[in-house]
Amino acid sequence: MKTRHNIVLISALLIFVTTALQAQNPIPNPGFENWNGSTPEGWFTLNIPGFEAVTQSSDAHTGSFAARGEVIDVGGLPFGPGIITGSIGDVNFPVSQQYARLTGFYKYTPAGTDELNIAVDLKKNGLLSGVGVINVQNQATAWTPFSIEINYFNQEIPDAASINITIGNSSMVNVGSTFLVDDLQFEDPVGIEDQSYSPIAESYSLKQNYPNPFNPSTTIEFSLKHSGDVQLAIFNSLGQEVARVIDEPLAKGIYSITWNAEDLPGGIYFYRLTAGEFSETKKLLLTK
């Protein structure tokens, strides 16, 4: 009877600790321990049937598994890995605090100038309230910690977050780049009195879309130093405009836009941001 009682107490303690850890870390399946085939539970991938750029790996930082991504060859074109929280229809998961940073561990072997991109967005009522991004260029053959500082634009407590892990490049990714990612964690909830906010962008900028390659949706982030008329247009490889994502006056600030290309064929496209005298163009790859 005494032994059985001890087992019950230990089980209850484990349940309590597990519940407490889950409450502190709202990220779904943060250690990538649970999988449905080549898809980690609580996430979705950019895998296409017969071509799996994201797979389960037993080379884990802790536990049994980690997420592995590799740029593979698909019909003569490089196809990059992408892991995003949630589902294709909703990439968000619930949160209830302003976290200071996203941490985790990675291994990375780049080919060419490819980068490992890890991005986190926090939102309030569907509007972006905080962002953090890390771009890893150097090889890391041993498990290496990363820490992504989250910058908030206002004092709103976010109600949703999303995380996106990809391999990207300003042009086309290179076959052979690989990453391993494990043990994601939000750290250090911040109070309003401890947080400085930057709702006004200090400069104009256009970031590389993520994921890239993508199918059919991708996110484009940009900053506006001044208010004014803004155009964000998409062009095909012939220079023909195929979509006008934004064509309206916008206030100065930092923006995150999702573009859906489900009606366009796969291939290389370009997106151009024009705001006043500022203009910048970057390349993206739609895979279908």
Mean predicted confidence (pLDDT) in 67-96: 93
Banded model confidence at residue 190, pLDDT cuts 50, 70, 90: low
Alpha-carbon span 146 to 103, nearest angstrom:
6
Q: Who has greater pLDDT, 153 or 29?
A: 29
Please state, in angstroms and rounded to a whole number, the distance separating the CA atoms of residues 106 and 87: 23
> On the CB side of 283, how many CA atoms lie within 13 Å of its CA?
11
How much is the average pLDDT of 10-25? 44
Give, in order, the Cα–Cα distances in Å from 17 to each of 23, 144, 258. 10, 26, 38
Where does the pLDDT of residue 196 fall: very low under 50, low under 70, confident under 90, or very high at 90 and above?
very low
Distance set, CA 216 to CA 88, 103, 157 (Å): 9, 28, 30
Domains and CATH numbers, the chain: 27-194 (2.60.120.890), 205-286 (2.60.40.1930)
Do 110 and 139 contact (CB within 8 A), yes or no?
yes
Mean pLDDT (the chain) is 85
The answer to whether 240 touches 280, Cβ cutoff 8 Å, is no
Confidence of residue 172 (pLDDT cuts 50, 70, 90): confident
CA angle (281, 282, 283) in 5-degree steps: 135
| Window from 59-73, 158-172, 179-193, 219-233 with minimum mean pLDDT | 179-193
**Residue 176 and residue 71: Cα distance in Å, rounded?**
5
Whether the predicted pLDDT of 199 surpasses 50:
no
